[in-house]
Structure 1
Amino acid sequence: MAFRPTGETLMNLTQNRTRIIEVLIGILATQLIVFGLAIYMFNEPTRIVEAQGEILNVQLDDAMTLYAQNCSVCHGLAGEGIGATPALDSDALRTMDYNDLEKVIARGRFNTAMPAWSKEDGGPLSDYQISELVALIQSGDWIETQDRVVNLGLAPLIPFTTDPNPALLAEIGNLPDGATLQAAVQLFAANCVACHGADGLGTGIAPAVNDPLVREKTADELNRTVTLGSPGTLMAGWANVLTTEDINALVTLIQRWDEVPAGILPAPNVPIPVTEESLALGGQLFSQNCSRCHGPEGQGTQRAPALNVKSFLTDTSDLAIQQIVTQGVPGTAMPAWGDRMTESDIQAIVGFVRQWEPTAPEVATPTRGGGGGPPWLRNNTTTTQGTGQQSTTGQGQGQGQGQGQGQAAQTTTQPNWWEIIDWRILLLAIGALSIAFTLIFMGVESLKARARPAPTEDKSQE
């Protein structure tokens, strides 16, 4: 006799099966959760590093702008340091304790040129901005920082030293009291040229001392300025550095500088730093302001000389080109652009011109200025001379170079029809014709449909 499960037994079996499935699903879900947590825990260190890297990149991007605006003037384009100011691109600073670096930036350094930058100490920077600068010093890319400084037009004026021209130095020895002038020129080259510029003509941070107005001052006034400095300016007193004889010699040089030959203290050929962005800006400014006279590629025109030529680029330094653009050339059509452009704009143009040097031709081929008006209004006309043999392009009357004179006969070359029709008009016409033919086709099809007889029912099948 076969066993037949009752309804209650079947119900219990179903409940057991359901419970087993639920337990299996729970176990599987638990395993998935454990497995997911394991994967998350395994990837968590990598995620933390990536998140820290993203935060650091944001901080470094902000820090490069802060450096350009506040620090580059003393520490240089790429943290290399200027003069006595220490370099920031240094292994010693990269490994320096974070708190020590932060304290130096925030509070400055006593009895040095390093001021306090924290707002709590009277500076302009917040604690977060100072932490960004610390990150730049410890982890920054100084080449990228240099590009940021240049692109923002904040490249610092780097003080320089120079050696006197030996031939000219020997020449001034023949002047009255020439030995004093020779010693003064050497002193000026070693101590003063960094601020007061080549030949004492001044720079952006100090005025010219080779100037008639300065020569009008008395020896006592000049001696007092060199000895004690000038309050409220960068001119420091030199009493602790130079002897009284040295200061007197410099005063003599200032008062007699009109006797000293020009070029005795030449400016060094320091190239202007460039980036892709500054070259693009320089190209745009050159195209907008310079190409009309100097040609689109600097090849020159009848109005202005060529710039894209080997002789000019080889013999003219970046500083000289910048001075020409800034101050213009008196007595020529070259205007002064210093009152129309910023210094960074002019430097961008100089950098753009300088990038022609590797491919500059030995001899430039000046371009001719084109006629005015749009191209379609400049028709080519051929003029045939009356009795002469010469043909010229132009309009009006011509005079032959043969035996007599004659009236010019003008023949105008008519353009072909496909040169007149603009492609936009042609495209519009094609579109209109396509719509028209489509409507005509649809209309014909509609008429045909109406003309067909209606289908009749076959009654024979009833």
Structure 2
Amino acid sequence: MTRSLQWIGFLATLTIALILPFYALTETNRQRDALQDYYTQVVAATTDLYAQNCAVCHGAAGEGIGENPPLNSDAVREMSESDLARTIARGRYGTLMAGWAMEEGGIFTNAQIDDFVTFIQQANWDEVARRVAELGLTPPAVIQLEVSDEIIKTLATLPDGDVLAQGLTVYAENCTACHGSGAGTLIAPPLDSADLRAHPAEELERIIRNGVPGTLMTAWEGQLSDQEIAAVLTLLYRWPEVMASGIAFPEAEMNDFPSTPQMIAEGQQLFNIACKACHGVDGYGTPMAPALNNQLFLTETPDAAIYQIIAGGVSGTLMPAWGSRLSDYELQTLVAYLRSLEQSAPPILPPIQQP
């Protein structure tokens, strides 16, 4: 071998020795950048699906709404990919979380479910909230009647005032949407009733804990603590005494169901935000929820009953109670929109189950 070839071999070896570490370093960075680009693309592609199907329950920023858990927590992000995928695909028994995989009656492919897993683990929730707002799909805020400091002070003058204050707070946050200020509404019976107070406490506790099958009274066990249930029971039995102290809630009055073009348009927009994910485009139904654009259902179901179903939900199904999240006017716009579909609704679809 000539001396020149030896130098060429030496220089080639030196070049390789110098380039390989540099290549290894840049390849690691390249792979990391490529993975980040992939995450960015998946999150961007999945954000609209989240806005259209998930934000209504889990919030525009993944903060959770009511009994629907937050997704923007470290606990969720740190779940294994298999656990997240299984939850999205199959849902959770005994909760409002439905199975979204096609084989479970949902609307997402396995690939889309995998993308949702990546979305949950990688999303910037502030950016997600902005996109949800851009699409006009920010869900309605939860409506709660507040128990003021003045009311708390008034209750403190009564025996076991702290228990009554807790009971009234729980009632305001969870019960007024259906039961009003105690006199009942179109969607629930009165609770300020001598007949009700004549029932044993054990019976009322069972109703609160387990709900009433076939009605809109849902089960509150698991949602309220034992102490909160006991406080509500105390309030119910001492209702006249509490009301006599000057405490009252505004009545949820609703004597008729007006319908105007503006209400129908607003109801359609709200339907697209809150209802379309389960009940389908224009209310034609999906495997997850029945068709509402259904002449038999609309013909046989009066406005008050439709209002009741929306506000109170349907126990034992995925239909949640919207009474605490929508105002009376918003509920009426939904009724107006659904009623506007009656004339052109298909006559052959089966009606949904009445509560």
TM-score, normalised on structure 2? Answer: 0.47
Which structure has more RCO (C-alpha within 8 Å, separation ≥ 6)?
2
Q: Please tell me whether Structure 1 or Structure 2 has the larger radius of gyration of its CA atoms.
A: 1
